Chains A and B, each alone.
Chain A
Amino acid sequence: MSTLTEGPPAPVPVRDRRVIKSRPTTSDRTFVAAARSAAVSTLVIMGLIGVFLAIGAWPAIKQQGFSFVTESQWLPEAGTFGISSLLWGTILVGLFALIVAVPVSFGAALFISEYAPRSIKKALVTIVDLMAAVPAVIYAIWALFFLQERLLSVAQWLSVHLSGLLPFLSVEVPDSPSSYTSSAFIAGVAVGFVVMPTMTSVMREVFSQAPTGEREGAIALGATRWGMIRSVVIPFGRAGIIGGIMLGLGRALGETIVVFAIISPMFEFTTHPLESGTNTIAAHIAIRYSESSGVALSGLLGAGLILFLFTLVINTFAGVVVSRSRSGAATEI
C-alpha cells in the first residue's frame, strides 16, 4: 500500500479525453428525416381526426349545451337532440355482448391452454385467430338469417316465465314473437359472437404464460387440474382476463354493421332489453349520416367523438392492464 502511494501520481488525462461525436452521413440524415416524417404524419392524421371531430362537434354542443348528453330524442329539425338514449343503448348492447362472450371466451381460453390435447391445440389457436379475421358483415348476415329467429323463442321464454321475478324482462305483447325481433338482447348476443375471438386470444395468451414451475408445484402437492388452474393460472392471468374483457368491450361498443342489421331504431330509454327497438351510437351514425347536414351532422360528429373517447379510455386501460400482466408482475412467488 505504502509503496503505491510513494510512486509518482499517475497522469489523469482529463483534458485529453477524446470526445466521440457521431457525424451522420447525408444518407443517414435523409433516412432519419424520412422515418421521423412518417411517424409525424401518423401523429398528424390522428391529431386531425381528434381535432376535426372536436371542431365539427362544437356547433351541436354549443347549441344543445349540457342537454346533448341528457336529451334522449334526436330531432335536429326541431332543435332538440341528444345522445342519452343512444349511449344507454350502446351500453346495453355491450352488456349483453359481455354476458354472452365472457363465459364462453374464458372457458374456451382455458380449454385451449389447459385442457386441449397437444395435437389439436395449434389448430384451435388458428381457428380462434381466423374467427377474429372473419368480417363483421358475415356475422351480420348470419345473425340476421340464422341467429335472430332462433333467439326469438329464448327471448319469449325468458319474458313469459321470468318477468314475474325480474320485471325488466317483460314486454308489452308477450304472445307475439314480433315483440322480440329487433331487441337490444338479440343485437347484443350477435355482437357477443363478434368479440368472442378477441377476448379468447388475449386470455389464452396470458394463461399460457403462467409459470410452469408453479403449475408443476401445484400438481405435485396433489391438486386436481382445476385446483391447479384456480391456484396458479387464474391468479397469474387475472390482469389478462380483465384486459381481454375490456378489449372485447371496446370492440363491442364500436360495432356498427351487426347492430344496424338487427335493430329497429328507437330514441327512448328502454328498460326492457327484450323488447324490440333500441339504438347505439355507431348504428345511429350509419343510419342518419346521409340525411344529416349542418347542425345534425355536427351532432353525429359529437356522438362519434364521445364513442371514440369511450373506446379510447377502455382500450388504454386494457392495454395498460395486459402489458402489466405480460411483464409477470402479477405473479407472487
Chain B
Amino acid sequence: MTSTIDSGVAGPPPLKDDKLFADQDFRTSRRTSAAERPRVRTGGVSTELVTHVASAGLGALALVWLVYERLVPVTGTIGFWLVWYAVFIVMLAAVSATTLDRMAVTDRVVGALVTTAGMVMVSALAGIVVFTFVRGKGALSHSNFFHETMAYYGPDAGLDKGGIYAAMVGTFEMVAISMVISVPLGIATAVYLSEVRGRIARVVRVVVEAMTAVPTIVAGLFIYSMLIIELGQERSGFAASLALSVSMIPVVTTTAEVVLRLVPNGLREASLALGTTQWQTVRRVVLPTARPGLVTAVLLGVARIIGETSPVLLVAGSTNELNYDPFHGPQISLPLFVFTGMRQPLDVAISRAFGAGIVLLTLVVIFFALARIIGGRAPGHTSRRQQRRFARNARALTTTPGEQP
C-alpha cells in the first residue's frame, strides 16, 4: 500500500481490509438513517390522522354539548349532530394546522367532507332498509300475511288476519303483461337501432330518449284518460300494465342497444362472410352473443316498474278482493298496498304496509342481483354448460356413427 502511494501511481484497487471497513461504515450509516427516517407509507391510516380526527371529534362534541344545550332550549337530535359536524370540521382544520401546512389542511378537510358524503349515502340506504324491516317484521311473522287477502277484514283487523296475497297476484300479473308487451318491442327496437340502422334510426333514438323523460304519473294519466275515460274501459290490471310498459320500453331499449353495440363487429362479418343472410346473422350470432346483456336489460326494466305506484294508483283501481283476471275489474299491486296502508291512521294497517314494503324490497333486490350476476359476464362469454354442449356437438361431428361404441 505504502509503496504504491510512494511511487505516485494512482488507481490500484483498495486493499481488502480497507474495502471491508468502508463497506461496514456505509452499512452502519444506512442503518442509522433508516432508524431516523421511517419508511414513507403511501397508503393506509397514520396514527397522526387518527389522533387528529378523534381529538377534533371529542372536542366538538364537548363544545356543542355545552353551547347547544344552553343557548338553544329547543333541541333535536338532527340539529345537534348538524352543529356538531360543523364544529368538528372547523376543529379538524385547527388541529391539523398544528402539524401540516395550508394545502395539506385543505386536503384533509375536503377528505373528511367527501368521506362523510359517502357515509351519508350508505347509511341512508341502510337506514331505509333497516327501518322498513324493523317496522314490518311483525306483519311478516304471521304466515297468513302471504296467502290471505284483505277481502273479509277491515284495515283494523289484527295482524293474524288477512294479508297481501291479492297484491302479490296483481303485481305478478301486471309485471308479466308489461313484460310481454315491452320485451319484444324494446329488443326489436334495439335490434333496429343497432343492426338494421335504417333512415329513421336517429329519430327513433331521440324519441326513446324523450320517452325516458315521461313522468310515470303522466303515463298513468295518459292511459287513464284514453282507455278509461275516452274508450270507456273499466279499471283493470291490464290498463296498469299498459301504463307500466310506457316506463319499461325505454329502459329495455336503451340497455339492449348498448349491449348489442358491444357485440364485436368481427363476429358479424365472419358470419356474413360464410354467406348467411342478415336475419341468420342476427338470430344465430348477434342475439346469442348478447344474451346475458339482454337478460340484464329485461331484469332492469322489471326492477324499474315493479315498484311503480302512481300509474297503478290511477288506472288499476284499488280493491281488497282477490282478482285473478287482469282484464276485468280492479286489481291491487304491492306498491299500491303499501301506499294505501301507510295512509291509514291505524297501527296494524301501517305495520302491514311495512310488511308489504319488505316483500317489495326483497323482490327488487332479487331482480337487481340477478341482473348483476347475469350482466357481469362479457358478451360472448360461454358458460360451462355451453362449453360442454359445444364439445358434445364437436364430438358428434367428428366421430362417424360406426365408430361409436
Binding site for B on A (CB under 8 A): 24-25, 27-28, 30-32, 34-36, 38-43, 45-47, 49, 52-53, 56, 103-108, 110-112, 114-116, 124, 126-131, 133-142, 144-146, 150-154, 156-157, 160-161, 193, 196-197, 200, 224-227, 229, 250, 253-254, 256-257, 261, 282, 285-286, 289, 293, 297, 300-301, 304-305, 307-308, 311-312, 314-316, 319
Contact = CB atoms under 8 A, between A and B. Distances in A.
Interface stretch (B154-162, B209-217, B378-386): B209-217
B37 to A, nearest CB: 19
A142 B135 CA distance: 10
A319 B209 CA distance: 8
A197 B214 CA distance: 19
Interface residues of B, number: 96
Given A151-B78, A253-B215, A137 B335 contact: yes
29 contacts: A24-B277, A24-B278, A28-B279, A31-B282, A38-B184, A39-B192, A42-B204, A42-B253, A104-B120, A104-B121, A105-B117, A107-B117, A107-B120, A115-B118, A127-B125, A128-B121, A131-B121, A133-B367, A137-B307, A137-B338, A153-B75, A157-B72, A225-B111, A257-B309, A257-B310, A257-B335, A293-B229, A311-B214, A312-B213
Contact of B198 (A36, A45, A154, A193): A36
Contacts of A153: 74-79
Interface string B86-115: 000000000000000001101100110111
B239 interface: no
A200 B118 CA distance: 10
Interface string B274-294: 000111101000000000000
B215 A315 contact: no
B361 to A, nearest CB: 6
Given A42-B249, A127-B121, A256-B216, 15 more contacts: A31-B279, A42-B189, A46-B207, A111-B115, A111-B118, A128-B121, A138-B132, A142-B128, A145-B131, A150-B78, A154-B82, A227-B107, A286-B310, A300-B221, A316-B210
A108 B120 contact: yes
Contacts of B210: 46, 312, 315-316
Given A40-B200, A115-B111, A193-B124, A45 B361 contact: no
B85 interface: no
Contact of A141 (B188, B207, B357): B357
Given A104-B117, A108-B120, A145-B350, A226 B110 contact: yes
Nearest to A141: B342
B360 A138 contact: yes
Contacts of A297: 225, 229
Interface in B290-344: 303-304, 306-310, 313-314, 335, 338-339, 342-343
Main secondary structure on B side of the interface with A: helix
A315 B209 contact: yes
Contact of A135 (B111, B184, B335): B335
Nearest to A257: B309
Contacts of B60: none
